[in-house]
Amino acid sequence: MRCSRSTDFLLAALATVALAGCATIDPPKPWEKGDLARPSMRFDADPLVDKAMAHIYQSKEGAGGGGTVGGGGCGCN
């Protein structure tokens, strides 16, 4: 099937509109990252508490890297 000239134009117009849409989701500029740098934007509430929790979890698992690596416990991986 051969595209007619008007379909061609319509597709081009649609593509333009679609591409223009991408412009609105521009990532924030380096000087606009104030809100992203706020403490409330962290994944962890408190890095020190997080470390302590990880330490307890690891000692319960009984292996180094027990908090992150699957398996373990016997020390043989």
Partner 1 sequence: MRFLPALLLASLACATSANAVKPGDPAPPIALATPGGDAVSLAPLRGRVVYVDFWASWCTPCRRSFPWMNAMQARYAKDGLVIVGVNVDKRAADADRFLRDTPASFRIALDADGKTPAAYDVKGMPSSFLVDRHGIVAWIEEGFRDERRDDLEARIRALLAQH
Helices (H), the chain: 5-23, 47-61
Q: Is 19 in the site for partner 1 (CB under 8 A)?
A: yes
Instruction: State which of positions 32-51 bind partner 1 (CB under 8 A).
Output: 32-35, 37-38
Q: Tokens representing 41?
A: 């934007």
Phi-psi group of 65: left, alpha or beta (phi > 0 → left; psi -120 to 50 → alpha; rest → beta): left
Q: How far is the CB of 26 from partner 1 (least distance, A)?
A: 9
The distance of Cα 31 from the centroid of its chain, to the nearest Å, equals: 20
Q: Tokens representing 20?
A: 């223009």
Q: How far is the CB of 49 from partner 1 (least distance, A)?
A: 21
Q: How far is the CB of 45 from partner 1 (least distance, A)?
A: 18
Per rule CB under 8 A, count of chain residues that contact partner 1: 18
Residues that bind partner 1 (CB under 8 A): 3, 8, 11-12, 15-16, 19, 22-23, 29-35, 37-38
